[in-house]
Chain A
Amino acid sequence: MSNKKTYWKGVAQLENKEFANEIASNEFSEHLPVNDFLKEKKTLEESSTSRRDFLKFMGFTTAAATLAACETPVVKSVPYLIKPDEIIPGVPNFYATTIYDGRDYASVLVKTREGRPIKIEANQSSTSARCQATILSFYDSNRAKEPMFGGKSISWSKLDKQIKQKLSEVKDKKIVLLTTSVISETTLDLIKKLSSKYSNFEHIMYDSVAYDALLDANLQSFGLRVAPKYHFDKSDVIVSFGADFLGNWLSQDYSKDYVNGRNPKNGKMSRHFQIETNMSLSGANADKRIQIKPSEQAYLISNLYRALIGTEQIDERLKGVYQNLKKSKSSIVVTDSSKKDVQLIVNAINHRLGNYKKTISIDNPCFLKKGKTDDLKLLVNEMNSGNVQVLITNGVNPVYNYENSKKFVSGLNQVETFISCSLYNDETSSLADYLCPLHHNLESWGDANPSLNTYTLMQPTIAPLFDTRQFETNLLSWSGENNDFHKYLKNYWINKGIDWNKALHDGYFKFNQSIRTANYRKSNLRNFEKVEVNRLELCLYEKIGLGDGSLANNPWLHELPDPITRTTWDNYVAISASTAREYGLMNKTVANGALNGSLVNLKADGVELKNLPVIIQPGQAKGTIGIALGYGRKKSGKVGDNVGFNAFPLISKKYVDIELAEGEHEFACIQLHHTMMGRDMVKETNLDKYIKNPTSGNYREKYYTYKGKLPSDQVSLYEEHDLETGHFWNLSIDLTSCTGCAECVIACQAENNIPVVGKEEMRKSRDMHWMRIDRYYSSEMTKQSAKKQDISSIKMYAQMEEPSEDPEVVFQPVMCQHCNHAPCENVCPVAATTHSNEGLNQMTYNRCIGTRYCANNCPYKVRRFNWFLYSENDQFDYHMNDDLGKMVLNPDVVVRSRGVIEKCSMCIQKIQALKLEAKKKGETIKDEDAQTVCSSACSTNSIVFGDVTNKESEVYKLRNDDRAYDLLDHLNVRPSVFYQTKVRNKQNA
């Protein structure tokens, strides 16, 4: 061996001797601040302290500090002086209330601990991911905290006086109140009172994402400007032209009904056709998804109608839809079209099919959407012409979400007095003369009338955090009345004969409303002919997480992976693979395993947006792009500012031009593998096969043993845990009814104190969510077709990575599977993860030393490592580092520190509380009381939790169902979590 061998540090060293010498002499290429340290050389030399002395002192102080640290500080316990009767420290109280932020509505139960709300649970309606996350927005330290005049704080009494003065000064010009849809009867009543008090008062409602076309069409067809109630559970065939009813459409949760109509157990499932441009949540769940360009929608709907009345041949693409609709007895056709003429045709189709009164009830309407975008347009014009003297806004942000924001701002300059009532000092409020900060829903009184005869009440769950006031109080005091809104509300309903205490306790009441029901009236229908468009088309959408961006300062929602793209902290231009190739756009995985994408510049009829990231989306219609609204806020607060870009200026644009821009965008995408690569994580079958054989699709591999061929769960080297004695907790997840709505993810985050890690960390796959919802696309390549075509396995796997252009999509929630032969338990050197006799895999944080062996040995990759101390850390400036944001933490769950592994505990705190309650009462546990937070949040009941030793329990029945299977069952780890095969209904679709 020659020891003259030279090791080159790199090509640079070979080529550039000088540079090479420099780096050779400098071992640490980073700059070390040695000079800063030794600046005062003289003083150092004069000092008598030698290096040895220094080390001695160091040693001594370290030891002293260590010993001193052993002394615990004195802890003070400060009890209440006068304890409220209903509060027992350590025991949660639940209050029935309503969440309505002008857009999303939910009747909820709020869990409070020692007087602070910490969790939102469903009451009369189901909750959504956004609704679950409002609890964090409540503790947002960036909320507007005090009334302001011209940027300076002012007292409420002064503000009231000045505003009343300003309002009464109005003579010829207008006072305009601009709000979102108001669904409260008392609020409308108060607005009426205020308008009668001052002259030229006008109230305008608008929704950031408008439903004018649908409402106006119903006005024309039925004489009511409402959205009807859709019974997705009662229809055999569901046809949606772009309406993402499982996502954000009409801000209603239809998933429960939808899933109820799709239970394979009944031997019958609805067939769902989704004809859309972007890959939406509804499209992902559809039995048949048809990709169209937005420009084709009107023609196809028109064509379907004409085919149904027999005047035209059905378009080739809609053949299946047509035949199914013809055959079916009850169906629903919906569309998201923003053209009233198109909505009228849809009404005509539904009428023709006899759907009204069967699956669509117009006489049981929903009142959540009332906005008129045209009114806002008129208002902006009037503002610009100087006709508006006082503008009052409540909970709206047109400077951000009105398409022509510049015109609105220039109009504001013509308005003499601009009063903004808002939760935040946002884009709009920051331009206001008077800022009246609002109470959050959780601090307010109120009522809501979401649908006919249904009323829910809103009650405060905590005293106001800041010097804020609710909008109704403003209305009362500006109309010169006693500003006690609580009293007003109470009297209002008591006078109408409502049992107030009962209603408040339940959170809802029924009250008969008179409504003029009208029969269907025929309108003249426009014919839409087939058009050929050769330009790139734009289709905007709202994300499941952020929606229209009003909750943009909520880090949970930013970090919630989009169910389809699995990307966080971004919006982007979604484009199909073939169109991307045309423009030379690409997505690639870089060395650290993260996703990068090309950038484009976008131009659309006067709007220009630069450097937008591109994501290649399987299932995106060719020649189209999809962009999410709700991003690109400028004044939302520390979390939401400058995340993504604002797409509201594009809201009425149809065609766009894009060109490749320099550079690359770094995505924080947490799932880069698009397909299952020939494995069967998700087992699926079709309804006809399922009816013939309920175990279809649920194939179990058998293995050779000395006893003959056996399925893996009958082969074991381990000593078995005794799972018969006592409880054995299991969790069943039905992949047929899981729509991928991600509500469980946020609910889990809220319950289990899961930190937010931010985009940088997400990009490094250091996400902390205890449960994820994997999304898989089908691929053109399968093992069978590779065999047939004799394709080499390398080539086969390479092609399998490519999702097909028109993929089928499956969602699979994955959390710790609580294996009863857990691979993680065997490798932990300190026994920090152990098994319980109730079938749970326990994680003991205070024992964990962070070797991460368990995470490496986990076949499901559900263990999360705390790379940093996320709480108390200003590097993670989201919510856990400020005193207010910390209030949302659940006191029953530990906040994990740096260097430990964490994972799903199957809500052990809830199991323990459940058992304790039963023990104290001396009763057995009721099956319906056993809930994890994901199972109770799941609006489609696809997650079911319970004790399988209880033969009556739902989970026991599911465990023994023919559809039940263990994830990766060939590993034989015997999980306590199991799945039900996905059943589609796609024959003849």
Chain B
Amino acid sequence: MRKELYLGRKIYLVLIFSFLFSNSIFAQIDGEELYKTNCTACHVMTDKRLVGPGLKGVTDKYSKDWLKKWIINSQEFIASGDEKAIAIYEEYNKQIMPAFYFTDEEFDALFAYLENPPVEEIAEAVVASTEQVSTSNKYLPIIILILILTISYILLILKNKLKSSLGEATESIPQTFYNQYKIFISNKTNLVFTGIIAFVVISNFAYSTMMGIGVYTQYQPEQPIAFSHELHSGINGVDCNYCHSSARHSKHSGIPSANVCMNCHTYINEGTDEKGTKEIAKIYEAVGFDPDSRTYIEGYTQKPIEWVRIHNLPDHAYFNHSQHVVAGQIECQECHGPIQEMEEVYQYSELTMGWCIECHRESEVKMEGNEYYAKLHEELKAKHGKEVFTVEEIGGLECAKCHY
């Protein structure tokens, strides 16, 4: 799985570079940065309105000089009596656009960017290519099997051909198989050997099946909203703690409440595609938000979002996120896997007791600089004569650390 994704990343990089070089990169980077830091709070690159109008084709609609005037000081511009300016001011409920002071070079870069906005083919291409890789991998054993069968079939035909050319008696292919089988089972050593292998294989299968009961690695239920961690965390780089804020304070990492979603999605009401827009609309549906008027509907019966829980620890096991995230200083990904690459979240780790214990045996306690551990660290150093201690060595395998 990892390799596939790694491969996917390579392809992604290659694609990005090829795309970047096909355009005039230098202007593009500058302009994009300007756009992102200054404009995105109120504008989008489509023709949808956010706080202000969508900027798709804005350079066609208005002249560059007009735009410059508007951007530098819209209030003055309106006061000067420009018709177009007044019209847009009225259209947007007399909302004032703040003034931005750009240099001429910056304006050029910005307009260049606005004229040629980035196309969203990149993401799609990446998705397509990863899929291809994974398909070929999945069918590999079957392909090999077919290959072996074909080769043996060809060989048998060859053998028959050779035999008939020598004038010896030939046998049909099924007959060959049957005879070979007869010879095989007539030998007791063979039988015992096969028996042992079969026993081992079956026991192994049974054991792993039994051990797998209650283990839900790769569990990937369908969620009420097709929220993509890849998009939010991976591509947009939203910090995990922004949504899962209680992970630092509580035993629960916390599924963000809808008002956290609305912090951004009050403005971002469109997805990268139609599907995404539909999914965002589901949040609005839950909280009762009208994306057109950008207001909450009064007297709306809000509908809680029923997410499907993926990581289920049994009730008798106590787990505390803040313990691991703050005191243990471990990254989310250590247990949750490459979450920033998951379009749809699945359970990455086993979450079995063995898995917990394994980690507690290996992980070292971050004692440096933590006053709490100072005394204990000195005592342990004196006792064991070493510097670094694992969780196990400070009692991390004791029953009542997790069961009470």
Contact = CB atoms under 8 A, between A and B. Distances in A.
A722 B383 CA distance: 10
B252 A89 contact: yes
Given A81-B286, A83-B259, A919 B372 contact: yes
Interface residues of A, number: 49
Contact of B307 (A76, A842, A893): A76
Given A81-B302, A924-B375, A90 B369 contact: no
Contacts of A829: none
Contacts of A89: 246, 250, 252, 254
Interface string B385-404: 00000000011001111011
10 contacts: A75-B309, A83-B260, A725-B383, A726-B379, A840-B400, A845-B316, A847-B403, A921-B372, A923-B372, A924-B372
Give the interface SS of chain A, mostly helix, strand, loop or mixed: loop
A842 B372 contact: no
B332 interface: no
Interface string B316-338: 10101011001100000000000
A703 B308 CA distance: 65
A836 B400 contact: yes
Nearest to B378: A725
Contacts of B158: none
Max chain B Cβ within 10 angstroms of own Cβ: one of A77, A908, A922: A77
A724 B379 CA distance: 8
B308 A916 contact: no
A844 interface: yes
A919 B304 CA distance: 35
| CB-based closest 8 A-B pairs | A90-B250, A842-B400, A83-B257, A919-B327, A80-B257, A844-B399, A75-B309, A79-B255
Interface stretch (B104-112, B179-187, B213-221): B213-221
Contacts of A83: 257, 259-260
A81 B400 contact: no
B126 interface: no
Contacts of A726: 376, 379, 394-395
A374 interface: no
B231 to A, nearest CB: 20
B305 A78 contact: yes
A14 interface: no
Nearest to B315: A894
Contacts of B375: 924
Given A840-B400, A924-B375, A70 B327 contact: no
Given A79-B255, A836-B395, 10 more contacts: A72-B214, A81-B258, A81-B304, A834-B398, A842-B404, A905-B400, A908-B404, A912-B404, A916-B327, A919-B370
A599 B315 CA distance: 48
Contacts of B403: 842, 844-847, 894
A892 B318 contact: yes
B251 A77 contact: no
Contacts of A893: 404
Interface string A825-846: 0000000101011101011111
Interface in A923-943: 923-925
Contacts of A892: 318
Contact of A88 (B246, B316, B323): B246
B58 to A, nearest CB: 36
Nearest to B286: A81
Interface in A796-853: 832, 834, 836-838, 840, 842-847
B287 A81 contact: yes
A74 B399 contact: no
B124 interface: no
Interface in B285-327: 286-287, 302, 304-309, 312, 314-316, 318, 320, 322-323, 326-327
B252 A90 contact: yes
Contacts of B302: 81-82
Interface string A708-743: 000000000000001011100000000000000000
A91 interface: yes
Contacts of B315: 894
A832 B380 CA distance: 27
A93 to B, nearest CB: 12
A714 B55 CA distance: 85
A161 B256 CA distance: 45
A898 to B, nearest CB: 14
Contacts of A724: 379
A5 interface: no
B326 A76 contact: no
B197 interface: no
A72 B306 contact: no
B399 A916 contact: no
A501 to B, nearest CB: 24
A880 B227 CA distance: 38
B251 A905 contact: no
Interface string B77-112: 000000000000000000000000000000000000
Contacts of A72: 214, 216, 312
A924 B374 contact: yes
Nearest to B283: A81
A949 B108 CA distance: 70
Interface in A29-78: 70, 72, 74-78
A77 B258 contact: no
A722 B314 CA distance: 32
A920 interface: yes
Contacts of B274: none
